[in-house]
Amino acid sequence: MDTVKNLNVSRRTFLTVLGAGSMTVLGLSGCSAWTERRPNEDLVRLAAEYQKILDSNNLNRFQKPFLDAQVDELTSEWNRVCGTDSEGNPPARCTDTAPIEDVDVPAEFTVADLQHDLIEVASGVEKDDQAAIDNGLLIGLAAALGGITKAPQHTELLELAPASVTAEIQDVYNGVHGAIFGSGLAIAEDDGTHAQLLRDTATALRGLRNAIAEAAKQQGVQLDTPPAGFTFEQAPTDVLEFMHEQTHSVVSALRYAAAHAEAGEDIRFAATWCCCIALNEIDLERAQQRNPLKTTVRG
């Protein structure tokens, strides 16, 4: 077998490398920690799914480089997890090339499906595994995919609930109240040009707030009582940028909550809502004539 000498493998090499084979392991690791390090089956599947999307004819001139950049992020994480030997080379079994076509990806596979699988894999990471991949990265990649797919919508998350209202989710709850208050200020300052966009953002934020409040009620968790009013140093002059900042803070808090949660249900709850609120962040960027596909990892 030939060992790949260069750690900075290309996107195509990475996608091929991940097809080198898989074995049953617990959690998500770039390589197994047994006698021979081998690619984890979840990473092999994700790589095949990325390749399926990249090989499709449904990408425009902005979407393909965006997905290429996402694969580069996975490549860097792959190299970090697999490590190197004394000569700086990665383990051979993590870099031997093999076709990923062996992985069966449905012909109708979509970007929304890829986003869903990133969340599912992130939700299964064993936090006590030192070789585990950074699930926060997978969540950030999933959230950024909202630049291509309009999923998930907040109306689809009515049945989603965390196993426990963690301290991080409580922090999200406190922060989202400020963002909702800020949306009221933005709507008041707007001349009506962006009224629908601002209302849609506020509606999604309220959906998140209500979901956390309902979960806390079911679990008997006492949430902090929001103050009678929030104050900002000054009224927003640029309502789009103001609301972008508010929304981004919620997206970041959700990604943090997901990355630091222990239970799979808690990770899934925060990660899915992270992707949902990221859609509003993306819409606000487009309204400012900014290209959201320049952001490879969100939150």
Neighbouring C-beta atoms of residue 12, cutoff 10 Å: 12
Shared domain for 94 and 180, answered yes or no, is: no
H-helix segments, the chain = 11-17, 41-54, 63-82, 111-123, 135-144, 167-189, 195-219, 239-260, 264-287
Shared domain for 162 and 88, answered yes or no, is: no
Residue 79 lies in a domain: yes
Shared domain for 256 and 202, answered yes or no, is: yes
Residue 248 lies in a domain: yes
> ω into residue 152 within 30 of 0, thus cis?
yes
In the block, which residue shows the tokens 């919508």?
153
DSSP string across 79-142: HHHH---TTSPPPGGGT----GGGS---TT--HHHHHHHHHHHHHT--TT-TTB--HHHHHHHH
Shared domain for 64 and 163, answered yes or no, is: no
Determine the residue type at 34.
W
Residue 132 lies in a domain: no
Residue 187 belongs to domain spanning: 154-294
Question: Collapsing DSSP states into helix, strand and coil, what is residue 39?
Answer: strand
State which of 109, 131, 166 marks the end of a domain. Answer: 109
Shared domain for 92 and 180, answered yes or no, is: no
68: tokens are 């290429």
pTM of the model: 0.85
Residue 117 lies in a domain: no
Task: Let me know the angle formed at the C-alpha of 7 by 259 and 96, rounded to the nearest 5 degrees.
Answer: 95
CA–CA dist 35, 87 (Å, integer): 19
The CA–CA distances, whole Å, from 61 to 10, 58, 67, 224, 286 equal 20, 10, 11, 47, 17
The CA–CA distances, whole Å, from 71 to 10, 46, 133, 243 equal 9, 10, 14, 30
Shared domain for 163 and 288, answered yes or no, is: yes
Shared domain for 170 and 248, answered yes or no, is: yes
Residue 257 lies in a domain: yes
Q: For every one of its 299 residues, what pLDDT tens digit does the chain have, with 9 covering 90 and above?
A: 333 223 334 444 445 444 443 322 223 344 544 444 555 677 778 888 999 999 998 899 999 999 999 988 887 777 676 665 556 666 655 554 434 777 889 989 999 999 999 999 999 877 666 557 789 999 999 999 999 999 899 999 988 999 999 999 999 999 999 999 999 999 999 999 999 999 999 999 999 999 999 999 999 999 988 776 666 666 678 999 999 999 999 999 999 999 999 999 999 999 999 999 999 999 999 999 999 999 999 99
The answer to whether 181 and 221 have CB atoms below 8 angstroms apart is no
